[in-house]
Amino acid sequence: MGLRRFTDIVNEVKVTNTNAVKYFKLIQKAVKSKNYSMSKVEGGSYTVSFKGSSVGDLVLAVSGEKIFAYSTDDGQSEFKLLPKSFTSVKDIINDAKLLKGKGGKAIKGDVLKHKPAKAEGATLSDGGGKDGLVFDFENDKYGAVKEGKLFRIYAKKKFSDVKVGDKGGLIEKESNLGVKENCWVYDYAEVTGDAKVIYNAKVSDHAKVYGSVEVYDDAVVKYGAKVYGKAKIYGKAVIEGKTEIYDYAEVYGKANVYDSTNINGEAQVYGEARVYGKARVTHRAKIYGDASVSDNAKVYDDAQVYGSAKVYGEAEVYGDAKVDGSAKVYGEAEVYGDAKVSDGVKIYDEAKVYDEARIRHRAQVYNEAKVYDNAIVYDNAEVYGKANVYDNAEVYDNAEVYGDAEVFYNARVYEITKVYNNAKIHGNAEVYGNAKVYGNARVSDDAKIYGSALIYDYALIYDYAEVSGKAKIYGSTHINGDTRVLGTQS
């Protein structure tokens, strides 16, 4: 812009604002008498100072065909876009530095701070400007073009996979996107509010990041995902699909969250964990290691799923429960309380494991079975049907407890024993070997059943009695005291 062009612009301006008439008449007079000084600013713009002239302490910032005025002697604290009559309005600000004229209020980085479409320190007379107006920030990485209530960024230099001139996604203000390293908002993605995308993070493909979210390090948010509230995504985490992450949730490490999942509360997903399908992780739950939560599964409260564990189907893990190792919890199973499921365990169907129960090694609990209190099921043992194992009972080795059977108090069932139907083993009783207890039989107190013994019907074995070998006790028989029954029949 030369001196003549500036003069033309001033002469063509029609001032309708009453407060501006006085100043502008003086401006026109000063221009006519050439009583002003001009300073070129980076970006091809100018500041024009009338200080010491009849105009008083007034500075104009000129860019394209827009004139911004600032008076230092009337107490004003912002630039004002003067009314115009000229056309071909392409730029409001070619470079934020043009507003740093003598006597003018300097803009500090984020020129879009207060309202979308308005530069900090500037009140635009047309209510924020029309689409297509350019905002050129102080950084040398990107500028922005107004688009609706937001601004579409464009690259001013080459970095990562971004070339000079490449258009990016939408932001609300400069602080939404870092000016260093390789972070970028691509395509139709949006970053608004007080959200920050910094370092080498990337947001793309219709993803939306807003609120007070922080996305940083090498994290990626894409494919329509939404991250809001005060959530944090960092490390090399990848968030994609219709996922929603919000509140104070954090996803980091090399975690991958995708499909239609929901992570909220103060939940954390990290390590190389995966959460997908329509899974929900909330409250203070943690998913980490190589663990995965998928389908319609829910993990909440202070529960933890880690190691290589998998929780899927309609399963729920909650309370202070822990699922680790290569354990699997699926179907409509529930693990809760202070229960711990580990190693290669399988909990499925409608089974429930809760309180301080422990299931480990390769044990299985399924159908509608329940293991609770301080009970332990381990090795290759199986508890299924509608069986209950509780109190301080233990079921281990290759033992099976099923049907409506119950094992409780301090009872132990182990080796290749089977307890089923409506049988009950309790007290300090032990059933082991290849023995079977079924029907409505009861074994209690300090009694022991072992060998290949069969206890069934309504038989009762109690006190310190022992039944072993190939003995068969049935009907309504009672064996008690110190009785020893050794069966030898073939």
Residue ranges of the domains in the chain? 3-89+96-118, 247-348, 359-490
DSSP 77-122: -SEEEPP-------EEES-GGGG--TTSPPP-S-TT-SSTT--TTE
Beta carbons of 376 and 389 less than 8 angstroms apart? no
Judged against a pLDDT cut of 80, whether residue 397 lies above it is answered with: yes
Judged against a pLDDT cut of 90, whether residue 138 lies above it is answered with: no
CATH superfamily entry for domain 359-490: Hexapeptide repeat proteins (2.160.10.10)
Judged against a pLDDT cut of 60, whether residue 148 lies above it is answered with: yes
CA atoms of 297 and 311, how far apart (whole Å): 6
- pLDDT tens figures, 271-315: 999 999 999 999 999 999 999 999 999 999 999 999 999 999 999
Judged against a pLDDT cut of 50, whether residue 122 lies above it is answered with: no
- pLDDT tens figures, 1-10: 333 344 444 4
CA distances from 331 to 340, 346, 348, 365, 484 (A): 18, 10, 5, 12, 45
Beta carbons of 44 and 1 less than 8 angstroms apart? yes
- pLDDT tens figures, 411-459: 999 999 999 999 999 999 999 999 999 999 999 999 999 999 999 999 9
Per cent of the chain over pLDDT 90 is: 66
In degrees, rounded to 5, the angle at the alpha carbon of residue 327 between the alpha carbons of residues 325 and 330 is: 150
CA atoms of 337 and 176, how far apart (whole Å): 42
Judged against a pLDDT cut of 60, whether residue 114 lies above it is answered with: no
- Its pTM stands at 0.75
Tokens of 413: 């069932």
CA distances from 297 to 7, 216, 348 (A): 71, 28, 12
CATH of 247-348, one of 3.40.1360.10, 3.40.50.300, 2.160.10.10, 1.20.1250.20: 2.160.10.10
Residue range 248-258: average pLDDT?
98
Beta carbons of 257 and 278 less than 8 angstroms apart? no
Same topology between domain 247-348 and domain 359-490: yes
CA atoms of 299 and 289, how far apart (whole Å): 15
Higher pLDDT, 418 or 112: 418
- Residue 414 contacts by C-beta under 8 Å, 6 or more apart in sequence? 381, 394, 395, 396, 397, 399, 430, 431, 432
| pLDDT classification of 165: cutoffs 50, 70, 90 | confident
DSSP 310-366: EE-TT-EE-TT-EE-TT-EE-TT-EE-TT-EE-TT-EE-TT-EE-TT-EE-TT-EE-
Tokens of 464: 């310190």
Beta carbons of 302 and 320 less than 8 angstroms apart? yes
Tokens of 355: 């309180």
Beta carbons of 206 and 221 less than 8 angstroms apart? no
CA atoms of 94 and 62, how far apart (whole Å): 10
Judged against a pLDDT cut of 90, whether residue 248 lies above it is answered with: yes
Residue range 48-64: average pLDDT?
48
